[in-house]
Amino acid sequence: MTREDDRARQEFTSEAEELLDALSRDLVELEAQGTNVRPELVNKIFRGVHSLKGLAGMLGFADISDLSHTLEDMLDKLRMGRVTITKELIDLLYDAVDSLNRQVMSLSDPSLAGLVDLKGLISRVHQAVTNQPQQKEADLLSELTLDEQTKKSLTEYEEHRLIENIKAGKYILSIQVGFDFADFDERLRVLTASLSEAGGEVISTLPAMDSTGGTGIAFRLLYGSMLNEAAVAAIAPEAAVTSLRKLTAPPTAVEESGRIPEAPVEEEMSIRSLSQTVRVDIGKLDHVMNIVGELIIERTQLEALTRSPEVQQVRMLSHALTKISRNLDRKLNELQRSVIETRMVPVGQIYSKLSRTVRKIARELNKEIELSLRGEDTELDKMMVELLADPLMHIIRNAIDHGIEPPDERVKAGKQPAGHVTLNAYQQGNSVVIDIIDDGRGIDPQRIRDEAVKKGVIGAADIVDADRAYELMFAPGFSTATSVSEISGRGVGLDVVKRNLQEMKGTIDVISALGQGTTFRIMLPITLAILQALIVRAAGEKFAIPLTSVEESLRIYSRDIRTVERREVFTLRNSTIPLLRLADAFNLGSAHDRGPDAKWFVVITRAGEKSVGILVDALVRQQEIVIKSIGERLKSTPGIAGATEIGESEIILVIDAGSLIDHFGGRAREIRAGVVA
């Protein structure tokens, strides 16, 4: 494959993914609208499939083009009213979009190509079209005072929409209006938009006789609406509005009140907004971010130079360097913000994929599931959004399978037959929180304990409260499922989910109430590229703690430290906080206290719902850092996220507060002393 072919494939994959994500969102809306589907939505889905077919055909991707063409043919018949919207048809549309997604992915990973039964799917589409009952309709157009010339001017689709509006009992109105040549296109667009926003449908726009003596142009709009002539005339006062029905339709309650109903908002994608978007390969952004990171390191070294005694002695040189340093700092901050914003994308990008998964699993398990998606506009780094897709899908899959009860069991428990799963994304400080909430049976700590004892994870005498039970769920290989299946019970694979989230410097917590439901709370930093960090010193070594994990820092004395159940704690605002000595965690220097009046600094860190005070000798400063990998050998070391350079070629370790707390908790001193295995 040549470089040009490879680039064309990548560009097609990127554009195809956007089209398929939009199709998935539109299918969710199509299903929600039931039998009263707006024609604009069907047309939008049709255009999306048509665009995909054209792109695939142009680049020679025959399988994608064939399936898209077959689907396009069915959607065209749906537009024309020759195919009826049913649950089976919507299932078929979801399956087709799923298969198109796999076909697009198989361009990069050929092993996925075998997952698509192309012939079977095309056969299902043909069957859905041919099995439609033949509808013989009366000549409904005879109910209108339409001249033969106008009837002949209508396209097949316009005639179909006109008949559908007649069937719906709407007023069919003729709106004749003239415009000047100078601005007729803009004024016609504004009029059409106003009529659509009023809840009606502009069925056709036809040229009409111009009464301005040749200085303008006239149009005749055929309009279907629940509004009568007077209400529509108020929307278009410059137009002549007449009814085309031979028999006047009965007035509605809305018309009797004289009020025009509010228009439902049609979420049509703006062409103008799309033209402002430029697709950029994430590898190029990574390269730019690496350059920014190197510049930040250089800036740090420059700042260190301005503070050196030698430079301070030369006053003019010191002043010039300080000025340069400040200007560089300001410009770098602007560049950094711009690059980070460029990498940010809404988490809604993966919501459409999750919608398809939920629907498919619910169908396989014969469960009714209502999925609510909130916070689609919340933004995260592009790479993090991609890495987040699999953990979210795994949690939702398990929630539907094992968390949500069967319909009959829900009814007995006084719940609605349909289970509810909610995804809610929102920003909290410098982090993004994603809640996955279900209203199922909840998690039984006793059942978790029994299973853990059975598998030998804990001893029979161990006490397990709710928090400990939730921790056990994330143990490798732990499961409460009674049988092995493709869709397994809550807990299966959660250790992988947690590990993936920790690689993104994120945390996951569980909040559950038996019989009421469960919430999995994921907390992630907005970006991993460049972070603000607190530089600390412990046993003569410096470390960086990302500020996304830091709640506060304070100074205490040795006498403030107490021991409870062989673990060091201290009291902060009537709360007992476990302490973790950084020197003990990494086996640095002496662990002996320096007397009751010795001063310590405590950095209160949080990983999800857990708080721990990290005990250090000193707080050095706050600084921006660029995290670098430390290689495979040290990658799995608990408590280490990577390394960073903080100036003067000094390289220090970056603390991963989440894995540090998970591994040590308040037991670092015990582990070092050999008390805990």
pLDDT digits (tens, 9 = 90+) for 599-655: 899 999 887 667 889 999 999 988 878 777 777 666 667 788 888 887 666 888 888
Question: What whole-number distance in Å separates Cα of residue 143 and Cα of residue 487?
Answer: 56
Q: In this predicted structure, what is the pLDDT of residue 549?
A: 83
Question: What whole-number distance in Å separates Cα of residue 665 and Cα of residue 248?
Answer: 78
Q: In this predicted structure, what is the pLDDT of residue 282?
A: 66
- Kindly report the backbone phi and psi dihedral angles of residue 439, in degrees, each rounded to the nearest multiple of 5, phi listed first: -105, 40
Q: In this predicted structure, what is the pLDDT of residue 165?
A: 82
Token pair in block for residue 149 = 């010339």
Quote the pTM value.
0.61
Question: What whole-number distance in Å separates Cα of residue 616 and Cα of residue 583?
Answer: 8
Q: Which residue has the tokens 């299903």?
A: 31
Q: In this predicted structure, what is the pLDDT of residue 427?
A: 87
User: Which stretches of the chain score pLDDT less than 50?
Assistant: 248-278, 483-492, 675-677
- Kindly report the backbone phi and psi dihedral angles of residue 448, in degrees, each rounded to the nearest multiple of 5, phi listed first: -60, -45
Instruction: Lay out the sheet containing 567-572: strands in order across.
Output: 550-557, 599-607, 610-616, 575-581, 567-572, 562-564
CATH architecture, domain defined by 3-130: Up-down Bundle (1.20)
Q: In this predicted structure, what is the pLDDT of residue 489?
A: 43
Question: What whole-number distance in Å separates Cα of residue 50 and Cα of residue 69?
Answer: 7
Q: Domain 531-673: give its CATH superfamily.
A: CheA-289, Domain 4 (2.40.50.180)
Q: Where are the domains of the chain?
A: 3-130, 140-245, 282-345, 347-525, 531-673
Q: In this predicted structure, what is the pLDDT of residue 272?
A: 29
Question: What whole-number distance in Å separates Cα of residue 267 and Cα of residue 78?
Answer: 20
Q: In this predicted structure, what is the pLDDT of residue 424?
A: 93
Token pair in block for residue 465 = 């409260």
CATH ID of 347-525, from 1.20.1050.10, 3.30.565.10, 3.20.20.140, 3.30.450.40: 3.30.565.10
Q: Beta strand pairing status for 541-546 and 562-564?
A: unpaired
140-245 fold? Alpha-Beta Plaits (3.30.70)
Question: What whole-number distance in Å separates Cα of residue 232 and Cα of residue 328?
Answer: 61
**Sequence letter at residue 404:** I
Q: How many CB atoms lie within 10 A of CB 555?
A: 11
Q: Beta strand pairing status for 610-616 and 575-581?
A: parallel
pLDDT digits (tens, 9 = 90+) for 106-136: 887 777 767 778 888 888 888 888 776 555 5
